[in-house]
Structure 1
């Protein structure tokens, strides 16, 4: 069975030799460099202890310095699986998702035809280059000079000119004996609607040859010299040689440069790639004027594990980046991702190079963002999340985006990264109380909360009742221990746990770690706490008597019990916090003679106090139900009594000290 060379080339480009060989060998981590596709292992073809078997993933070949075995992915499968050439091709084709062409007795004829088309394209390259040197090319040469291209650059990139006129290239190729059908099949001419001679596809344009990874001319890109032309840039039509969704401009040279350690930079157009390469960024490619396709993305990952997408700094450039994110998410693999470098607004890489030089471009590339941050930016930029409904909508959207990731490990890491970004956006910017130096954890900074300095105000002396801090500390400890025992409930109570003031710095740190690892299993959560707060943090928490006797700690896995405990303890904390806030506000306003409204307000508060106390005594329970529906226990009532006892209503509401 004969296979067209084009099919085998495509199969080799889609196949990672490292993955194929990796199923049969154990890589030597000391000698191998996975980022460069330079891998070493003991040879699978002869017995040895040293790593003399070398795989060059970018070139797609292996070689053993011991037994001299060599070949490509097809040859490796053929030798290791003991199968025929066709069977090896079938195995790799199934893995690459390619359908093997049906047997064609004229396959050799097709191969010969492709060779003929390549020859026609090379003749066209030489014709266009010659035209640029003629008097008719003066305008094009002036334009290229203004764009900063030297004579050496014109030679390197084989830039030419398609002169004005309808049949210049057609007549030239016909004079060379090229058949009409081959000229048309190469995409260099189109049939006339008026029945005359075919006319040239490219006219009055600066011409950029497009070569495949093997260096063969397969197409052209043309830049119009006439500013009124309908198409500023025009690519060859798709032909037997050229599939623009499977091709990259500057593919071969960029692959070589990336193999030497240069970062792979993906720009939008020919001039961007040329300008980047001339400035030293030689591993630069472009997707030929279209949105990057899945095949092109796989080609990029064959060249580099983490290409940098350098897009124009405008709305269209940002839109292209967002579309690429949706394409890339389902295809992500461990070690394979994208970074995005957005040029300054209104500039492309070529503009920035000419305006500020290579250093400015390097600075932009150095600040390239990982894909997860651009995904977050797309879903949050320019939007307000001032209501629970809007926050929930954001959570739902992000969950749907992350679900597209097929790799479970990457999906998990994306979820954690999104949680971290969400934390930064929604974390309350708390302020310290006006006295006492109470600890309030600030937004996350490298795993540590940062204390705020105490205020000099003495007003808080009225707000600190006997036993308050100990009571609050106890409830917080139970809540934290319960959350650690049942992390699957953290999401359900996330906002309420986040609102805990945590006067104790250890509690504040535990709260932050718990919220940032809400999706972890109990064992993983404890490991994260130990890594950030130290192993003594959990020991100190569980040493507390009220934590040790908590049913949720003694009976881990009781989800319903843990849910009830969290709901009750959080409700009590919230009720106390609301009580203290109301009393503090009332005391704050008692700085002079109380008016009628203030007297009424205090009277109502005193009546509520009495009613709560009366319900407690009559019910024989340790807790009473306040009008706001939250549980207030006996200590809350006692605290309120003590504060009200300090107020002398006969002296205009002033405190008695």
Structure 2
């Protein structure tokens, strides 16, 4: 089959994009476009736009962008070819003719899918019958409700070498062997692969059964037995529960990766439906890419035992070459060697949610692992640590992310060994000891406490809301006189990475040189420094819904709103960090004091969100300059 650019262009032209998107997302007419609250991230104010004339959608909040085909792959989770087929059928078109070999392969796959569906149905019937009594007892012991078992299609394979073979004999032995349901040894008679096991169907992204995982009932090895590789099943490209989790991930804005089937099932029963699991192997590059399609920072919740933590570290190393700006991993370490199944069963969903709200960043996991790898008492050992950290950073393909990791590891090593940060604006006084970092209860590295006079510098830019930061920067360009009023706070934003951080620095430097600047003069100077296109993008009135980013807004209101936005921008990361710490403390000791602090900080965060929402323009007329 050949899908030419001309064919795909014709398909896009025949597809009314707004009609396609309106099937699952409520759209409102906005001039020649449509707008809605973005289906790819949680928001209150619409920033998602659909343009039928140009044939694309775009979210000014999270950056989601694409055409009809991209909508089907990203929002619906369909593979590319399936997305095209569905759009072709809706448009009344026909797919290009397949060659004979491809047609035969497709027909073969259709038969395999039907065989797997019938096998799943047969296993489910056995679980509900007399033969499945012991398997049902295992599920009850693990707290799995009957409704949950039905939802996941759980079944039972009797301890027999030929019952499934007999039940599915209409497909023939050859097809059942190809599907992985029978075992063929040389010229001997094929026999059932799964015997005496709780059966867990593995589905593809479209919800079709493509394989099985079988858990032994009673004693025996292996504890879990998976289907072999087949024309339908590629273990390294498949994630268990992906078909169900991707819809849940769009609602929650997060995706969880756990170790096993039962973890996924138990979490779903506890209300965490956005969980998937690799199939008995370490996470592969393909599986990581799948996770990143659903969330920028997937959460890895592997078991708290040694094996689980080693698996998490392997995933961290495998992800490093694939990191990109904004795309990373985070880790949830479970207490006392528990797995997610144990945790939600013994301590409830609240305890698990508390852990999810305070994950360990990838950089922390790598640092912690290397510091604990060997003693650091001698210069040679300390040099070895630095070499290992540098090697990890050098494996990152993206140049910007690599640079940030090298700088971060260097700063942590300096602080850990008592040398202080290498920065001109944080020099210790002559003869004063350099501040040292420390590790918290989880072993995560914590930077040294800043001196009281360095409050503005300590704000940094890591926790800033990027959309709000862009709006503030646009407001400062339109109202440069306000820069001087907030110079100490805004100076901390020089450390922001990428073009935005460089533009912050350039705007502040321009204001330092000339306090009598107007907006036009700022833009002229920025243009000479190469920031004309970035500044122009920021000043586009339709992208940032605040009075201080608009060209013809009331001057007094714009200045007041800008001052309020800066206050919220600075307060947000401080409150978020304190809330994360309070949540972690609550999960550790469950004290009333920790609970009270968490509630107070949650309210403070809601107040900040309300203050920000009050600044946003909501009326249609407000979006016109």
TM bin (shorter chain)? 0.5 to 0.7
Measure, in 2, the Cα distance between the counterparts of 1:159 and 1:132. Answer: 8
8 Å contact from structure 1 (residues 222, 235) kept in 2: yes
Query: Please, which of 149, 167, 172 is the counterpart of residue 144 of structure 2?
Result: 149
TM-score (norm 1): 0.55
Measure, in 2, the Cα distance between the counterparts of 1:437 and 1:61. Answer: 57
The answer to whether residue 340 in structure 2 is matched with residue 331 in structure 1 is no
1:347 alignment counterpart: 338
2:410 alignment counterpart: 419
1:207 alignment counterpart: 199
Deviation (angstroms), 1:33: 6.8
8 Å contact from structure 1 (residues 269, 288) kept in 2: yes
The structure-2 alpha-carbon separation of the partners of 1:331 and 1:439, relative to structure 1 and needing over 3 Å to count, comes to closer
Aligned length: 415
Deviations 1:421-475 (A, max 9, x none): 224312269xxxxxx9986664587884259xxxxxxxxxxxxxxxxxxxxxxxx
Deviation (angstroms), 1:307: 0.8
8 Å contact from structure 1 (residues 40, 55) kept in 2: no
Query: Please, which of 118, 123, 140 is the counterpart of residue 118 of structure 2?
Result: 123
The answer to whether residue 404 in structure 2 is matched with residue 395 in structure 1 is no
Report matched runs for 1:103-114 at 5 Å: 104-114=99-109
1:449 alignment counterpart: 451
Deviations 1:94-115 (A, max 9, x none): xxxxxxxxx8422112111111
Q: Secondary structure at the match of 1:313?
A: coil
Q: Secondary structure at the match of 1:345?
A: helix
2:400 alignment counterpart: 409
Deviations 1:288-346 (A, max 9, x none): 11111111111111122211000101111111111111211111122221111121232
8 Å contact from structure 1 (residues 249, 286) kept in 2: yes
More off after superposition, 46-55 vs 313-322: 46-55
Q: Secondary structure at the match of 1:209?
A: strand
8 Å contact from structure 1 (residues 310, 343) kept in 2: yes
Measure, in 2, the Cα distance between the counterparts of 1:442 and 1:192. Answer: 67
The structure-2 alpha-carbon separation of the partners of 1:535 and 1:85, relative to structure 1 and needing over 3 Å to count, comes to farther
Stretches of structure 2 that go unaligned for 5 or more consecutive residues are 9-16, 18-32, 89-93, 421-428, 438-446, 454-490, 514-625
The answer to whether residue 209 in structure 2 is matched with residue 217 in structure 1 is yes
Deviation (angstroms), 1:186: 0.9
Report matched runs for 1:496-507 at 5 Å: none
2:73 alignment counterpart: 60
Measure, in 1, the Cα distance between the counterparts of 2:257 and 2:41. Answer: 18
TM-score (norm 2): 0.58
The structure-2 alpha-carbon separation of the partners of 1:41 and 1:400, relative to structure 1 and needing over 3 Å to count, comes to farther
8 Å contact from structure 2 (residues 303, 337) kept in 1: yes
Measure, in 2, the Cα distance between the counterparts of 1:387 and 1:187. Answer: 56
The structure-2 alpha-carbon separation of the partners of 1:56 and 1:350, relative to structure 1 and needing over 3 Å to count, comes to farther
Query: Please, which of 280, 290, 307 is the counterpart of residue 289 of structure 1?
Result: 280
The structure-2 alpha-carbon separation of the partners of 1:108 and 1:146, relative to structure 1 and needing over 3 Å to count, comes to same
The structure-2 alpha-carbon separation of the partners of 1:211 and 1:403, relative to structure 1 and needing over 3 Å to count, comes to same
2:179 alignment counterpart: 186
2:130 alignment counterpart: 135
Deviation (angstroms), 1:221: 0.3
The structure-2 alpha-carbon separation of the partners of 1:49 and 1:438, relative to structure 1 and needing over 3 Å to count, comes to closer
The answer to whether residue 392 in structure 2 is matched with residue 383 in structure 1 is no
Deviations 1:367-396 (A, max 9, x none): 211111111111111533233322222222
Deviations 1:122-179 (A, max 9, x none): 11011101111121211111110000011111110111000011111001111xx222
Report matched runs for 1:254-293 at 5 Å: 254-293=245-284
8 Å contact from structure 2 (residues 74, 293) kept in 1: no
1:173 alignment counterpart: 168
The structure-2 alpha-carbon separation of the partners of 1:85 and 1:386, relative to structure 1 and needing over 3 Å to count, comes to farther
More off after superposition, 43-52 vs 412-421: 43-52
2:545 alignment counterpart: none
Measure, in 2, the Cα distance between the counterparts of 1:130 and 1:290. Answer: 30
8 Å contact from structure 2 (residues 386, 413) kept in 1: no
Q: Secondary structure at the match of 1:208?
A: strand
More off after superposition, 364-373 vs 389-398: 389-398
8 Å contact from structure 1 (residues 40, 53) kept in 2: no
8 Å contact from structure 2 (residues 256, 274) kept in 1: yes
The structure-2 alpha-carbon separation of the partners of 1:307 and 1:198, relative to structure 1 and needing over 3 Å to count, comes to same
Measure, in 1, the Cα distance between the counterparts of 2:505 and 2:380. Answer: 33
1:319 alignment counterpart: 310
Aligned-residue CA RMSD (Å): 4.6
8 Å contact from structure 1 (residues 56, 62) kept in 2: no
The structure-2 alpha-carbon separation of the partners of 1:376 and 1:244, relative to structure 1 and needing over 3 Å to count, comes to same
The answer to whether residue 54 in structure 2 is matched with residue 45 in structure 1 is yes
Stretches of structure 1 that go unaligned for 5 or more consecutive residues are 9-16, 18-26, 64-70, 79-83, 87-102, 430-435, 452-512, 537-657
Larger radius of gyration: 1
8 Å contact from structure 1 (residues 343, 349) kept in 2: yes
2:156 alignment counterpart: 161
